[in-house]
Amino acid sequence: MYKAKVYVTLKESVLDPQGQAVKESLHSLDYHKVADVRIGKYMELQLNAGSVNEAESVVEEMCQKLLANPVIEKFRYDIEEATA
């Protein structure tokens, strides 16, 4: 059993209105030191894969096909062996 931690973020060139809204909310709460906020997704997957390499290639494929939108988003992931 492997655990994959997947981070999906908007590409630098893509506007992030959700992050902008959070930044403005933080400013209205008097956190004026916040210069920028970018919001992404974080996913944890449990995988019944035979090896780290197999888990990696499955996660890469799933990110390309479903978990991220490669047109506007980039992704990265870490795979670790899960004990339970």
Contact positions vs a second copy (CB under 8 A) = 1, 7-9, 19, 22, 25-26, 29, 31, 33-49, 58, 61-62, 65-67
Nearest to 24 by CA among 35, 13, 9, 12: 35
Residue 28 to residue 50: CA distance in whole angstroms: 50
State whether residue 63 is helix, strand or coil.
helix
Min dist. Cβ of residue 18 to a second copy (A)? 10
Comparing CB distances to a second copy, the nearer of 50 and 71 is 50
Min dist. Cβ of residue 11 to a second copy (A)? 13
Contact 80, 6 (CB under 8 A): no
Beta bridge mates, 5: 44, 78
Min dist. Cβ of residue 71 to a second copy (A)? 19
Comparing CB distances to a second copy, the nearer of 36 and 71 is 36
